[in-house]
Chains A and B, each alone.
Chain A
Amino acid sequence: MAEHNHKDEVTGVDTTGHEWDGIRELDNPLPRWWLWIFYACVAWSVVYMIFMPALPAPPGFEGFTRGLTGNSERANVAQQMADLQASRSTNFDRLQNADFQAIENDPELFRFAIAAGRSAFGDNCATCHGSGGGGAVGYPNLNDDIWLWGGTFDDIRYTLHVGIRSDHPDTRFSQMPAFGRDELLSQAEIRDVTQYVLQLSGQSFDAAAADRGAATFQNQCVSCHMEDGTGDQAQGAPDLTDRDWLYGGSADQIEATIHRGPYGVMPSWEGRLSEPMITALATYVYSLGGGQEAGGDEMGAGGQ
Chain B
Amino acid sequence: MVQILPKAAAPGIEQHDAEAVNDAANRKLYKKREPIYPKLVHGKFRLAKWVFMILALGAYYLIPFLRWDRGGGAPDQAVLVDFEGRRFYFFWIEIWPQEIYFVTGLLILGALAMFLVTALFGRVWCGYACPQTVWTDLFIAVERLFEGDRNARIKLDRSKWSFDKAWRKIGKHAVWLVIAGATGGAWILYFHDAFDVLSHFFTGGSPISAYLFFGILTFTTYTLAGTMREQVCTYMCPWPRIQAAMIDNDALSVTYRWDRGEPRGPHKKNDSWDGRGDCIDCKACVAACPMGIDIRNGSQLECINCALCIDACDDIMKKVGRPTGLIAYDTDINIEKRQKGEKPSFRFVRPRTIVYAVTLALVAAVMLVALGSRSTMDLNVLRDRNPNFVTLSDGSVRNSYTVKIINKTHEPHQYRISIEGDPALHAWLLGQEDGDLVVTVEPDRTTDFRLFASLPEEAIDRASEPLLFRVEDLVSGEVQVTRSVLQTGYDR
Q: Which A residues are within 8 Å of any B CB, using their own CB? A: 28-29, 31-32, 104, 110-111, 130-135, 141, 143-146, 239, 242-244, 287-290, 297, 299-304
- Answer yes or no: B456 CB below 8 A from chain A CBs: yes
In the complex, chain B residues whose CB is within 8 Å of the CB of A242: 393-394
Instruction: Say yes or no: A144 contacts B426, CB within 8 Å.
Output: no
| A174 CB, min distance to chain B CBs, angstroms | 19
- Residues 390-433 of B, flagged 1 when their CB comes within 8 A of A and 0 if not, give 11111110101000000000000000000000000010101101
| A141 CB, min distance to chain B CBs, angstroms | 7
Instruction: Say yes or no: B387 contacts A304, CB within 8 Å.
Output: no
Instruction: Say yes or no: A130 contacts B392, CB within 8 Å.
Output: no
Instruction: Say yes or no: B386 contacts A304, CB within 8 Å.
Output: no
Given A134-B386, A302-B398, A303-B428, CB of A28 within 8 Å of CB of B30: yes
| A39 CB, min distance to chain B CBs, angstroms | 15
In the complex, chain A residues whose CB is within 8 Å of the CB of B395: 243
Q: How far is the CA of A29 from the CA of B31 in the complex (A)?
A: 11
Given A132-B386, A302-B398, CB of A287 within 8 Å of CB of B430: yes
Residue of B nearest to A298 (CB): B433
Given A141-B387, A143-B400, CB of A301 within 8 Å of CB of B30: no
- Answer yes or no: B454 CB below 8 A from chain A CBs: yes
| B486 CB, min distance to chain A CBs, angstroms | 13
Instruction: Say yes or no: B454 contacts A144, CB within 8 Å.
Output: no
When the two chains form the complex, which single residue of A130, A239, A287, A304 contacts B426, counting CB atoms closer than 8 Å?
A: A304
Instruction: Say yes or no: A130 contacts B393, CB within 8 Å.
Output: no
Instruction: Say yes or no: A146 contacts B386, CB within 8 Å.
Output: no
| B403 CB, min distance to chain A CBs, angstroms | 14
| B452 CB, min distance to chain A CBs, angstroms | 5
Instruction: Say yes or no: B426 contacts A300, CB within 8 Å.
Output: no
Supply 22 A–B pairs (Cβ within 8 Å), ascending by A.
Answer: A28-B30, A32-B32, A110-B431, A111-B448, A130-B387, A133-B387, A134-B386, A143-B398, A144-B390, A144-B392, A239-B393, A242-B394, A243-B394, A244-B391, A299-B428, A300-B392, A300-B398, A301-B394, A302-B396, A302-B433, A303-B428, A304-B394
In the complex, chain A residues whose CB is within 8 Å of the CB of B428: 299, 302-303
Residue of B nearest to A33 (CB): B235
In the complex, chain B residues whose CB is within 8 Å of the CB of A290: 390
Q: Which 5 pairs across A and B sit closest by C-beta, in order of nearness?
A: A134-B387, A132-B386, A242-B393, A143-B390, A303-B433
| A196 CB, min distance to chain B CBs, angstroms | 20
Q: How far is the CA of A273 from the CA of B382 in the complex (A)?
A: 30
| B141 CB, min distance to chain A CBs, angstroms | 27
| A192 CB, min distance to chain B CBs, angstroms | 26
| A269 CB, min distance to chain B CBs, angstroms | 22
Instruction: Say yes or no: B392 contacts A131, CB within 8 Å.
Output: no
Instruction: Say yes or no: A243 contacts B433, CB within 8 Å.
Output: no
Interface centre among A111, A287, A289 (most CB of B within 10 A): A289
**Apart from A134-B390, A243-B394, A302-B433, what 12 extra A-B contacts exist at CB < 8 Å?**
A29-B30, A32-B32, A130-B387, A132-B384, A132-B387, A134-B388, A242-B394, A243-B393, A287-B450, A301-B396, A302-B452, A304-B426
Q: How far is the CA of A297 from the CA of B30 in the complex (A)?
A: 86
When the two chains form the complex, which single residue of B388, B430, B434 contacts A303, counting CB atoms closer than 8 Å?
A: B434
Q: How far is the CA of A299 from the CA of B392 in the complex (A)?
A: 11
In the complex, chain B residues whose CB is within 8 Å of the CB of A131: 386
Q: How far is the CA of A289 from the CA of B433 in the complex (A)?
A: 10
Q: How far is the CA of A82 from the CA of B390 in the complex (A)?
A: 39
| A68 CB, min distance to chain B CBs, angstroms | 18
When the two chains form the complex, which single residue of A28, A135, A145 contacts B392, counting CB atoms closer than 8 Å?
A: A145
Residue of B nearest to A300 (CB): B392
In the complex, chain B residues whose CB is within 8 Å of the CB of A130: 386-387
Q: How far is the CA of A239 from the CA of B393 in the complex (A)?
A: 10
| A303 CB, min distance to chain B CBs, angstroms | 4
Residue of B nearest to A293 (CB): B433
Residue of B nearest to A29 (CB): B30
Residue of A nearest to B394 (CB): A301
| A36 CB, min distance to chain B CBs, angstroms | 11
In the complex, chain A residues whose CB is within 8 Å of the CB of B385: 132
Residue of A nearest to B236 (CB): A33
| A216 CB, min distance to chain B CBs, angstroms | 25
Interface centre among B30, B392, B448, B450 (most CB of A within 10 A): B392
Instruction: Say yes or no: B400 contacts A289, CB within 8 Å.
Output: yes
| B318 CB, min distance to chain A CBs, angstroms | 43
Instruction: Say yes or no: A304 contacts B430, CB within 8 Å.
Output: no
In the complex, chain B residues whose CB is within 8 Å of the CB of A141: 387, 390
Residue of A nearest to B29 (CB): A31
Instruction: Say yes or no: A302 contacts B426, CB within 8 Å.
Output: yes
Instruction: Say yes or no: B393 contacts A144, CB within 8 Å.
Output: yes
In the complex, chain A residues whose CB is within 8 Å of the CB of B387: 130, 132-135, 141, 143
Interface centre among A290, A297, A300, A303 (most CB of B within 10 A): A300
Q: How far is the CA of A133 from the CA of B400 in the complex (A)?
A: 12
| A175 CB, min distance to chain B CBs, angstroms | 24
In the complex, chain A residues whose CB is within 8 Å of the CB of B433: 297, 299, 302-303
Given A302-B398, A302-B426, CB of A289 within 8 Å of CB of B452: yes
When the two chains form the complex, which single residue of B392, B394, B400, B448 contacts A288, counting CB atoms closer than 8 Å?
A: B400
- Residues 448-459 of B, flagged 1 when their CB comes within 8 A of A and 0 if not, give 101010101000
| B457 CB, min distance to chain A CBs, angstroms | 9
Interface residues of B in 359-397 (CB under 8 A from A): 384-388, 390-396
Residue of A nearest to B428 (CB): A302
Q: How far is the CA of A272 from the CA of B294 in the complex (A)?
A: 82
Q: How far is the CA of A297 from the CA of B431 in the complex (A)?
A: 12
Given A141-B387, A242-B393, A243-B393, CB of A302 within 8 Å of CB of B30: no
Residue of B nearest to A114 (CB): B450
| A14 CB, min distance to chain B CBs, angstroms | 13
In the complex, chain B residues whose CB is within 8 Å of the CB of A303: 428, 433-434
Q: How far is the CA of A290 from the CA of B430 in the complex (A)?
A: 10
Q: How far is the CA of A22 from the CA of B133 in the complex (A)?
A: 48
Instruction: Say yes or no: A301 contacts B392, CB within 8 Å.
Output: yes
| B25 CB, min distance to chain A CBs, angstroms | 17
Instruction: Say yes or no: A145 contacts B393, CB within 8 Å.
Output: yes
In the complex, chain B residues whose CB is within 8 Å of the CB of A239: 393
